[in-house]
Structure 1
């Protein structure tokens, strides 16, 4: 047994999990108010510059849900654009089961989203300060040259679900957490702030940085989608690597390593 997760890591991990749950569902509520994404400074009126559009259209057989991605149309009836029972369908981009609130309420969705967004930002600052102080960032997150050399072999092992149980994170874990914590989290925060008119007045250079408010909104959505994919893969790896052992580490800090792990200071017999 090794003490693998510090109290700061465990606290921020669960706060992020809580925040991301409410941010995702309230964010989809906000997206439903205008279910389209664009590239550029503005959305088109006399032209169509949408890269994604979700809605409902009339057809010979009645209304159907339709999702348009880069000009290609997909019938998504029952999932996106039109969902719910046939006698009382819901014509929203994402169904109510995936939004907070579950009914159309943009104002409440924005209040929930902004409340948890600031908790999310504060948690990131706390994690960064604690990780710099206790060495977690340097030791467990930033990939070293040796990690990059061992990365292909570790990727192959993960593809075969042969997950090691060492004292520290492996190359795939380090690189994944680095991309999430040091790239995706700052990116989703920065693009979210770029959509604020108040911040646009104080820092107009952010609009130039992300190519306009509409482009920032699209990047914000794609970053969210990437985090959802990361969460799904993360859960699969937790199940494959031993859910009880991993959960114990994120609750108590103690983690049971695999055979052959060299002993170290702070181990529990």
Structure 2
């Protein structure tokens, strides 16, 4: 069943667990994420990045997710991830997305705040939640995100930003990366604690792929209510597909598609178990 993004994350922060936000790119990945949520009996966020618009249109994604969500009693939210375009955000709101993320992290603080507040006004009028990002994440291996220099989120700016924009969730930068880590992760949970002490809305951790489990648990205990997983889904599926095709078996495309659903579920199930309430 489709549910409110804001309510889903408020419950997660209050319950000291996190909801997994898993990136999708096609029918198979959407099905894998929704089925995994149903089988686990747990809430799940289907995240469609604006960078994947060459793969599918927002109305196509929304139609698929709505249809699949009717087959499960587990909560499902549909989220537009990392979008810099106001026009695309409006299209997603009209298509029936549960939430949208306006990514103004590369903008000066005041401009990010101004543009985010504009998105909040439009989205909230339609009952759609909004996530914003403050700070910047570096680009790791196997990532299709833009290059960026690591800029940690300022707790003082986060407090002002959340109060001014009225966003439903705030993505913070504390040392995780987009993609897979190229070296030893240097995640500063101390920065997160300071942010959580002054910001009462749900906080979001981008760059969940490859982040060590103890760090994930510590982040959840300190205000993180939503964790994004993207790259590991792709890396696992591509690797399994490469191995399958190298076997020399005469396969039909439909068989590969069914196998892809299973490869997605392997990663999603792993992280859902990690993020769950304890």
Q: Same fold (TM over 0.5)?
A: no
Structure number with higher strand proportion: 2
Could you state the TM-score of these two structures normalised by the residue count of structure 1?
Answer: 0.25
* Rg larger for: 1
Could you state the TM-score of these two structures normalised by the residue count of structure 2?
Answer: 0.24
Structure number with higher helix proportion: 1
Answer 1 or 2: higher relative contact order, Cα 8 Å, separation at least 6: 1
